[in-house]
Structure 1
Amino acid sequence: MYFNYKVWLVNEENKKFFGIGPVLLLKKIEKLGSLNKAAIEMNMSYSKAAILIKNAEKELSAKLLVRQVGGKDGGGSYITEEAKELIKKYDEFYVRSGGAIEKIYNEIFQGK
């Protein structure tokens, strides 16, 4: 027996708007240079991916993604410095939360 957990950010109405899904999406956009390619790799529709980013931007009052329209070499997307900082903070929050939860789990279930 072991444990599992999920952590996400919620708004004032307790609605999730940022968690591991948007983090992975932003990381894939950074790697692939495209929201569409990132969505495809995550087996997600482009519209769902765009809505995830738009909702997070709205709740955070921050621009996370810059889209470049077509042209000779096609369009693309890149994440902002705000997005990079948010990813860094979320990753740290996730790891530290896991450590705290593991400590509690061990105390309660393992008697340590």
Structure 2
Amino acid sequence: MTTWFITRHPGAIDWARAQQLQVDHFVSHLDPARVQAGDTVMGSLPVHLAADICERGARYLHLSVDLRAECRGKELSVQELRQFNARLRPFLVTALPAVTDTTPRTS
């Protein structure tokens, strides 16, 4: 079983190390095909990738941060991540069938 931490932010990597998380691979992008049943994937993934991870039988831990609007788009330090209550939360994400009819409805 492999543990992945997915982020492109150096502060998030520093935060994970400060938490003493056992991580096998820190990567900025994850190909879901590399994930196997029993793996753990941590980070802030788009919902469709999180669903792919869960469908493969892996565990998804979302890096949740209570970020203020004015701090978005800014690189955060370990201290700032702690200030904004960074934490890993398990999620089970399931994709539903695609909606094929995207024609706007009129009343």
The structure with the largest helix share of the pair is: 1
Asked whether the two chains share a fold, i.e. TM above 0.5, the reply is: no
TM-score interval (norm. to shorter): under 0.3
- Per the normalisation by structure 1, the TM-score is 0.22
- Per the normalisation by structure 2, the TM-score is 0.23
Structure index of larger Rg: 1
- Which of the pair has the greater relative contact order for Cα pairs under 8 Å at 6+ separation? 2
The structure with the largest strand share of the pair is: 2
